[in-house]
Amino acid sequence: MGAAFRAVLTVILFLKCIPDPTCAIKCFKCSVAVPMYYTKEPIRLCKDFDYSDNFIVDCPYSTFCMKRISTAKIPVPINGVERDCALQKLETQEYTNGKWHPLISIEEPYTEGCARQDDKGARTSIIEHCYCRGDLCNSAHRTTVAKWQSVGTTPANKDAWLSKIFVRKIEPTKESHSRMLSDKEIIYSLQTHNYRPDSKIPYLNNVKRTVDYIKAQDSLSKEVELVGSWTVNVGDQDQALHLWKFTGGYEKIDTFNEFLGKSEEYQKIRKNRVN
> Where is pLDDT greater, at 104 or 219?
104
> Helix, strand, coil: what percent of the chain each, to 5?
30, 30, 40
Name the helix (H) or strand (E) containing 8. helix 2-17
Residue 159 has pLDDT above 60, yes or no: no
* The residue type at 73: K
| CB hemisphere CA count around 138 (13 angstroms) | 32
> Where is pLDDT greater, at 121 or 251?
251
| CB hemisphere CA count around 196 (13 angstroms) | 6
Lowest mean pLDDT among 176-185, 195-204, 234-243: 176-185
* The residue type at 109: P
CA-to-CA distance for 37 and 233, rounded, in angstroms? 12
pLDDT tens track for 66-94: 998 887 766 555 567 899 999 988 888 88
pLDDT at 105: 84
pLDDT at 101: 82
Domain 21-89+110-156 shares a fold with domain 177-271: no
- What fold is seen in the domain 177-271? Alpha-Beta Plaits (3.30.70)
**Contact indicator for 62, 27 with CB cutoff of 8 Å:** yes
Burial of 217 (0-12, 13-18, 19+ CB in 10 A): middle
pLDDT at 73: 64
- Give the pLDDT band of residue 106 (cuts 50, 70, 90): confident
Do strands 89-96 and 99-106 pair parallel, antiparallel, or not at all (unpaired)?
antiparallel
pLDDT at 130: 92
pLDDT tens track for 15-73: 444 444 445 799 999 988 877 776 788 889 888 888 899 999 999 999 999 998 887 76
Residue 127 has pLDDT above 70, yes or no: yes
CA-to-CA distance for 134 and 187, rounded, in angstroms? 41
Percent of the chain with pLDDT over 70: 65
Phi, psi of 87, rounded to the nearest 5 degrees: -80, 105
* The residue type at 181: L
Q: Which CATH architecture has domain 21-89+110-156?
A: Ribbon (2.10)
pLDDT at 119: 64
Domain map (residue ranges) of the chain? 21-89+110-156, 177-271
The chain-wide mean pLDDT, for the chain, equals 72
Percent of the chain with pLDDT over 90: 12
Q: Give which of 191, 195, 192, 165 is closest to 180, Cα–Cα.
A: 165
- Give the pLDDT band of residue 10 (cuts 50, 70, 90): very low
CA-to-CA distance for 275 and 192, rounded, in angstroms? 12
> Where is pLDDT greater, at 123 or 99?
99
Phi, psi of 78, rounded to the nearest 5 degrees: -125, 120
CA-to-CA distance for 182 and 185, rounded, in angstroms? 8
CA-to-CA distance for 107 and 77, rounded, in angstroms? 36
- Give the pLDDT band of residue 118 (cuts 50, 70, 90): low
